[in-house]
Chains A and B, each alone.
Chain A
Amino acid sequence: MNLKTFLLGACSAVALCGFANAETLTIATVNNSDMIRMQGLTSEFTKANPDIQVEWVTLEENVLRERVTTDIAASGGQYDIVTIGNYEVPIWAKQQWLLPLDGLGDNYDVDDLLPAIRGGLSVDGKLYAAPFYGESAMIMYRKDLFEKAGLTMPDSPTWEFIGEAARKITDRNADISGICLRGKAGWGENMAFVSALNNSFGGRWFDENWKPQFDQPEWKAALQFYADLMKDAGPSGASSNGFNENLTLFQQGKCGMWMDATVAASMVSNPKESTVADKVGYAIFPSKEGVNNHGNWLWSWNLAIPASSQKAEAAQKFIAWATSKDYTALVASKEGWASVPPGTRTSLYNNEEYKKAAPFAGPTLAAMDAADITKPTVKPVPYTGGQFVAIPEFQALGTTVGQLFSAVIAGQSTVDDALTAAQATATRDMTRAGYIK
């Protein structure tokens, strides 16, 4: 019986490989809607390239990151293309774990990629990953609630205005919170927002000598502002809300404002998902009075080829296809312009049809252009990044600090205690990693 099951297993494995005398690419990707759409359109690629087969490994973001990082660092060699964030690309490229993408073809038009995105994916002028979609952060707000409260969103709102407006809109009886922000602990959860907030307050994670800066007034001002705002105008359960929880709240009409990734715009304005689709307005991420900085939030999901792949040529072919202008046109022809992957190419934002179909195109581009990951904050820093710090140690450190800050939002810790603890733990981690001598 046991042997039989093994044999059965072996047979079906052979059968699967059998008909594919062509090369089979194994692609690991995240299960966001844009990637799932790409998966659905794969047949278009294999039709044009009959000698290439594609096998998908689709996983939830955190699982994918763990899985792919283990594989690449321990040279498991199981993937030909991996989907990774702009956080990983420079770190991995420096380890020579990725192949440079120099064979994308003449039609690819590398110069069309948004400069901010391209810069984040290049090391020493070589492109190591191709962006599939990109995002910054912006304000999404309810035009009807603003009108009712007699407010108008300025072109470039300040935190002072946001704070005031959020408190004014809050209506606990109608179960409407003035503002929804991330609170769930995690480097890619609450710390993405809080780091961007701190950037816009003029603060920084580390000074030029990698000394943590949680004992500085900017951090205190930013965290205090965030904590007070969430207390006065935030939803219940804020300390366990991440992107998705807030998206749900906003779509149900329970938030006056929400500051988060620009990709959310296509979800809150989709009438199939959102009850407030026709009432959403957009504005650039706020800044503090006197500080010229809109948070520098920049994220992209990218396709890259691990150095261990034996099928680099086919893999480049696929990447060139999936991140090309033609792919954008293909999605537009099948599902409409509002569904194309945003935030990677200048040409998309010059496309009149796209601008018509996607009211959030302008604000998205403005947000992406405003983000500069080489200069996250006004003070000098030894790192690149924006809502994250592009060092390998950031995931663990960011999550620890995120835990401390979520305790403030949950009302179980004070701003001062959290900052003192954050300073201590950051100093400890940075000393261990050898940044602080």
Chain B
Amino acid sequence: MATQNTKTLARLMMAPAVIVLLVWMVVPLAMTLWYSFQNYNLLTPQNVSFAGFFNYVYFYTDPAFFESIWNTLVLVLGVLLITVIGGIAIALLIDQPIFGQGIVRILVISPFFVMPPVAALIWKNMIMHPGYGVLADVARFFGAQPVDWFAQYPLFSIIIIVAWQWLPFATLILLTALQSLDSEQKEAAEMDGANAFNRFIYLTLPHLSRAITVVILIQTIFLLGIYAEILVTTNGGPGYASTNLTFLIYRTARLGYDVGGGAAGGIIAVVLANIVAIFLMRAVGKNLDR
């Protein structure tokens, strides 16, 4: 009886969020689907006509299409790798009893407060520029040739910038999870004589697994949509070396004013993102059930 009540109540509590999001998903998706079958360039509105699947074919046959998908994957995986491993390390570090813990924490979290375009500008011109960036100054100090980051390692440079922006998020979530780790358990393990490494592998890591899953899932969603950083730094070049799927859509929809082509690209991106999501859920989703 009580359970039946609870269940109904649970559904009612969930309903508003679900309904709002359902509307929010269906309306833009339907409009985008509609436009993806139209020949519609924003700058020549008199030429609107039915396009069939031409927009899809056109987007798919873009010379940069496959490279952009590859770049998207490299970008997402690279940033995830850096932020998860770095996030765990930093969370463990600042969870130690240290002097000035509060200040250290806020310093570590601070990149998260910087708007993406500003972060990209700062990194591009003040840090990574081969002429007057800080890294170039450091290289010259050691007598080395400054690295031309955006020409030689365009995608890697963007990964660094994005990882810097998202490291605080991962650290924050992981730190919170770390602090909920039962200190009695920790002490028990210490008493048993487990060394620091074993404590980490058998106690801390399993405890963090759900937090790691959340970091991976939420970040992936954001990382699939990265384009402002690319726009500011390399404009997708040199060649297509730093063009990801979102930038390709940006180029079609915003530079080409091709509403139909951009919509088709959006639909393709949604389908691919869902494939990634299903794959991810298979890989890490079981952690959510614990």
Taking Cβ atoms with an 8 Å cutoff, the residues of A that contact B are 62, 66, 69-70, 73-74, 91, 95, 184-187, 189, 235-240, 245, 248-249, 252, 254, 392-393, 395-397, 399-400, 402-404, 406-413, 421, 424-425, 428-429, 432-434
Complex interface: stretch among B128-136, B168-176, B219-227: B128-136
Complex contact B235–A189 (CB within 8 A): yes
A68 to chain B, nearest CB (A): 12
Known contacts: A239-B237, A399-B235, A413-B239. The answer to whether A392 contacts B257 by CB under 8 A is yes
Among B61, B130, B241, contact of A407 (Cβ-Cβ < 8 Å): B241
Taking Cβ atoms with an 8 Å cutoff, the residues of B that contact A are 41-45, 47, 58, 61, 63-64, 124-125, 129-132, 146, 148-152, 231, 233-241, 243, 251-252, 254-258
A359 to B90, CA, bound (A): 57
A186 to B236, CA, bound (A): 9
Known contacts: A91-B43, A395-B256. The answer to whether A252 contacts B132 by CB under 8 A is yes
A395 to B231, CA, bound (A): 14
Known contacts: A237-B131, A239-B150. The answer to whether A187 contacts B238 by CB under 8 A is no
Residues of B near A403 (CB, < 8 A) are: 235-240, 243
A259 to chain B, nearest CB (A): 18
Residues of A near B231 (CB, < 8 A) are: 62
B217 to chain A, nearest CB (A): 29
B139 to chain A, nearest CB (A): 11
A68 to B130, CA, bound (A): 34
Complex contact A73–B257 (CB within 8 A): yes
Complex contact A254–B236 (CB within 8 A): no
A285 to chain B, nearest CB (A): 24
Known contacts: A236-B148, A392-B43, A412-B238. The answer to whether A187 contacts B131 by CB under 8 A is no
A-B contact pairs, 18 of them (CB 8 A): A69-B257, A73-B43, A73-B45, A236-B148, A237-B131, A237-B150, A239-B238, A240-B124, A245-B129, A252-B132, A392-B43, A395-B255, A399-B255, A407-B238, A407-B241, A409-B151, A410-B152, A434-B47
Complex contact A240–B239 (CB within 8 A): no
Q: What 7 pairs across the A-B complex have the smallest Cβ distances? A: A396-B256, A407-B239, A407-B238, A410-B151, A185-B237, A237-B130, A392-B43
B25 to chain A, nearest CB (A): 22
A408 to B258, CA, bound (A): 28
Of all chain A residues, the one with the shortest Cβ separation from B140 is A175
Complex contact B251–A396 (CB within 8 A): yes
Residues of A near B256 (CB, < 8 A) are: 393, 395-397, 429
Of all chain A residues, the one with the shortest Cβ separation from B145 is A236
Among B43, B130, B236, B254, contact of A95 (Cβ-Cβ < 8 Å): B43
Residues of B near A235 (CB, < 8 A) are: 131
B260 to chain A, nearest CB (A): 10
Scoring B124, B149, B254 by chain A CB atoms within 10 A of each residue's CB, the highest score goes to B254
Complex contact B151–A411 (CB within 8 A): yes
Give the dominant DSSP class at A's interface: helix
Residues of A near B237 (CB, < 8 A) are: 184-185, 239, 402-404, 406-407, 410
A252 to B132, CA, bound (A): 10
A432 to B239, CA, bound (A): 22
Of all chain A residues, the one with the shortest Cβ separation from B129 is A237
Of all chain A residues, the one with the shortest Cβ separation from B248 is A400
Complex contact A409–B148 (CB within 8 A): no
Residues of A near B240 (CB, < 8 A) are: 403
Among B42, B146, B251, contact of A399 (Cβ-Cβ < 8 Å): B251
Complex contact A184–B63 (CB within 8 A): no
Known contacts: A407-B239, A425-B63. The answer to whether A400 contacts B251 by CB under 8 A is yes
Of all chain B residues, the one with the shortest Cβ separation from A398 is B255
A37 to B61, CA, bound (A): 47
Complex contact B42–A406 (CB within 8 A): no
Of all chain B residues, the one with the shortest Cβ separation from A186 is B235
Residues of B near A70 (CB, < 8 A) are: 42
Complex contact B150–A74 (CB within 8 A): no
Scoring B152, B238, B251, B256 by chain A CB atoms within 10 A of each residue's CB, the highest score goes to B238
Residues of B near A428 (CB, < 8 A) are: 61, 63
Residues of A near B64 (CB, < 8 A) are: 400
A419 to chain B, nearest CB (A): 13
Complex contact B235–A409 (CB within 8 A): no
Among A240, A393, A411, A421, contact of B234 (Cβ-Cβ < 8 Å): A240
Residues of A near B42 (CB, < 8 A) are: 69-70, 73-74
A285 to B255, CA, bound (A): 29
Of all chain A residues, the one with the shortest Cβ separation from B256 is A396
